[in-house]
Amino acid sequence: MTGYLGTFALAVGFLAALASIGLWAREATRGTSIAAARHGACLMLMGAAGAVAAVEWALLTHDFSMRFVAENGSLSTPLYYTVTSLWAASDGSLLLWLLVLTVYVVVVALRRPRAAERLHPWAMAVLSVVAAFFFGLVLFTGRAFDSVAAPAGGGPGPNPLLQDHPAMGIHPPLLYAGFLGLAVPFAFAVAALITGNVTRRWLDAVRTYTLVAWVALTAGIVLGAWWSYAVLGWGGYWAWDPVENASLIPWLVATALLHSAMVQRRRAALPAWNLSLAVTAFLLACLGTFLTRSSVVVSVHAFADSPVGPLLLGFVAALTVGVAVLVLLRTDRLGPPRTIGPLLSRGSVLLVNNILLTCLALTVLLGTLFPLLAELLADRQVSVGPPYYNRMAVPIALVLLALMVVGPMMRWQGDEPGRLLRQLAVPVVAGSLLVTVLAFAGVHSASALAAFGLATTVATMVAADFAAGVRRVRVSQATGWLRATRVCAVRRRARNAGLVAHLGVAVAVVGIAASSVYTVSAEQKLAVGERLSVSGVTAELAAVDRSRTEQVMSTAARIEVIDGATRTTTEPELRFFPAHGMTVAGPAVLSDLTGDVYLTLLSVDESSRTATVRLAVNPLVGWIWAGGALMALGGAFALWPRRRTRPGAVAVRAGEPEQTLEVVPR
């Protein structure tokens, strides 16, 4: 019965999406509001929510007559992982995808932007087309609600890798919120091309959605790296895996869009470029979904072979051709190129920033797709590994880091070299001093020194900018410091948000550089009582323990970790899941501000009563998670509702020197 209800909910959502396409197109052409169009959006959400609720109810009640539950449910799976089993397999994750998409559809339907009222119905028609495709995809190719015979033993449970860390309950929904948030800028960009209204109005309408998508993608990518580090047992957090890259590429394009949008708002320049970025970001998100749901790539993150892969690829191709035709038809509406300002101006720096971000995205995309193209065109199997990405991506990333220092200091109308050099003096000196100290201390990696120096320069620039913002506040005797600071913060909110995000990038870069270059590791077969030492840290095998439950057989090595005067007992594990025929290495991680001690149990020899253990000392890994959190916090800070200026308060335009904020008492 539950399966029939889920299928019925999908059918309702699919029909509502089809009807919404016509209703929104009619509203767009006639110029009159049609209430049924908004009701159609709500009906889509109800259909997606009903299908998701049906699967969740079947999982929670252990209804093994439903295929999805029979393949992914279990009587012994904890409640949290039972709920998150929804996105443990392809069919369920597509239902989550639909739910997130329809939430965006309803929000956009109910919030008509005053800045782009004419574009709104066309954008909703485009979103309805996207929703109709995914409803049809799930309804006609999905097998989640099929009836099957109940499996013996109470079900296999979800993939063991997806029930070993709480981040997996948050990571996929965040990525989906990011991917599908990019559908809104895509829809308004297409609407701008349809109507020929390619001014900044569509950008104003999608600013919030772009920021939400960027924040969600940032948090999702960082949580995914943390999961990989804490669960997979290989000791790293990013392997340039095709599915990892599939989330990074649209994030890079969305980052470029957020920066280039400022140029169009301030200088009315780059309209075609911004339209292209908005369209490309969502198309790349759909391409990443294709990579995840097809068998063309081998990845620990990918789902098994699924019939939706070719359909997704066809959908991406159709959208690409449709947008290309619109661009050709609207070339005359884009207008002549507009200047972005002098060479030494913020607009010029943002243009270079966009070029580099785009080049970085293309570099990662080429490395991801090249093995597929080589096999398709030349029938050759090739692989593109970390050396390619490190060689190509690291120089671009370092230049982008340098632009984070220069860009916020520059004026939009142009700058003088002398003033710019004075502004750069303190941050550059701070970065140079750190590089000198580290070089004398024995740090010889050029890329690591450059990363540490530039990150320090960025952090110093951010601190100096915050300090300058405070100094620009002139407070009268009767007003008081607190109120003036509060008003100043309101006026500098967008700038401060960007600076916090830049600081997060700098912190993450330090963690990435340190852990990539200076990790030290060793592995050794140990008997009970024997020791392994790495970089001043000693691991002593104390015992090997075994345990068994209904779902898993575990072998744990009890290890005493000696770091200076500190002794800690920890237990890395090997867990075998008979229902899946899979062995998972559960590492033990001891963390502090300076880095992690990372222990992995590789194998156990019962005949000789020995265990092979890998011990690694990974410096500053925690800085990566802290940097990612700061980046997401900066984006969230930019989303904070704007407050109106109080009477008597004179605003300061962010980034302009020699300005003051005076608050006149009432």
- At 244 the three-state DSSP class reads helix
The top-scoring range by mean pLDDT among 253-262, 481-490, 575-584, 638-647 is 253-262
Query: Residue 112 pLDDT more than 60?
Result: yes
Q: SS3 for 192-222, per residue?
A: HHHHCCCCCHHHHHHHHHHHHHHHHHHHHHH
Enter the DSSP assignment of 235: S
Q: Give the pLDDT mean for 37-64.
A: 94
**Is residue 201 within 8 Å of 191, Cβ to Cβ?**
no
pLDDT of 665: 33
Distance linking the first and last C-alpha atoms of the chain: 68
- Which residue's structure tokens are 């449970």? 157
Tokens of 218: 């940032």
Cβ neighbour number for residue 601 with a 10 Å cutoff: 25
pLDDT of 507: 96
- pLDDT bin (cut points 50, 70, 90) of residue 41 is very high
Query: Residue 478 pLDDT more than 50?
Result: no
Query: Residue 651 pLDDT more than 60?
Result: no
pLDDT of 649: 43
Q: What is the share, in percent, of the chain residues with pLDDT greater than 90? A: 55
Query: Residue 562 pLDDT more than 90?
Result: yes
Query: Residue 81 pLDDT more than 50?
Result: yes
Q: What is the pLDDT of residues 568-615, one digit of tens each?
A: 999 999 988 887 888 888 899 999 989 999 999 999 987 778 899 999
Residue 205 CA: distances (Å) to CA of 113, 129, 274, 323: 6, 20, 13, 20
> What DSSP string describes 587-633?
-EEEEETTEEEEEEEEEEETTTTEEEEEEEEEETTHHHHHHHHHHHH
Residue-averaged pLDDT of the chain: 86
pLDDT of 572: 93
**Is residue 502 within 8 Å of 404, Cβ to Cβ?**
yes
- pLDDT bin (cut points 50, 70, 90) of residue 654 is very low
Q: Give the pLDDT mean for 505-515.
A: 95
Provide the whole-model pTM. 0.91
Pinpoint the alpha helices (H) of 472-492: 481-491
Rounded distance between C-alpha atoms, residue 566 and residue 561, angstroms = 8
Give the lowest-confidence range in 131-140, 178-187, 323-332, 622-631. 323-332
Torsions phi, psi for 618 (to 5 deg): -105, 105
Q: What is the share, in percent, of the chain residues with pLDDT greater than 70? A: 90
- Candidates 142, 150, 143, 164; CA nearest to 61 is 150
Q: Give the pLDDT mean for 334-352.
A: 84
Q: What is the pLDDT of residues 113-125, one digit of tens each?
A: 887 888 999 999 9
Q: Is the dihedral of CA 176, 177, 180, 186 positive or negative?
A: negative
pLDDT of 647: 41
**Is residue 515 within 8 Å of 621, Cβ to Cβ?**
yes
- At 142 the three-state DSSP class reads coil
Torsions phi, psi for 77 (to 5 deg): -75, 135
Query: Residue 325 pLDDT more than 70?
Result: yes
Write the single-letter amino acid at 341.
G
pLDDT of 299: 53
Q: Is the dihedral of CA 56, 60, 66, 67 positive or negative?
A: positive
Pinpoint the alpha helices (H) of 441-592: 446-471, 481-491, 493-518
**Is residue 217 within 8 Å of 175, Cβ to Cβ?**
yes
**Is residue 538 within 8 Å of 531, Cβ to Cβ?**
yes
- At 538 the three-state DSSP class reads strand
Most distant CA pair in the chain, distance: 85
Q: What is the pLDDT of residues 267-308, one digit of tens each?
A: 888 888 999 999 999 999 999 888 887 655 555 455 555 677
pLDDT of 74: 87
Tokens of 281: 């970001």
Beta-sheet pairing, 566-570 with 553-563:
antiparallel
Query: Residue 619 pLDDT more than 80?
Result: yes
Q: Give the pLDDT mean for 260-265.
A: 91
- pLDDT bin (cut points 50, 70, 90) of residue 147 is confident
Better pLDDT: 127 or 484: 127
- Candidates 285, 225, 300, 223; CA nearest to 253 is 285
Query: Residue 659 pLDDT more than 50?
Result: no
Q: What is the pLDDT of residues 362-388, one digit of tens each?
A: 999 999 988 888 877 887 888 888 899
- pLDDT bin (cut points 50, 70, 90) of residue 475 is very low
**Is residue 468 within 8 Å of 612, Cβ to Cβ?**
no
Rounded distance between C-alpha atoms, residue 85 and residue 485, angstroms = 48
pLDDT of 658: 35
- pLDDT bin (cut points 50, 70, 90) of residue 99 is very high
Residue 153 CA: distances (Å) to CA of 72, 156, 173, 571: 13, 8, 30, 29
Write the single-letter amino acid at 112.
R
**Is residue 275 within 8 Å of 330, Cβ to Cβ?**
no
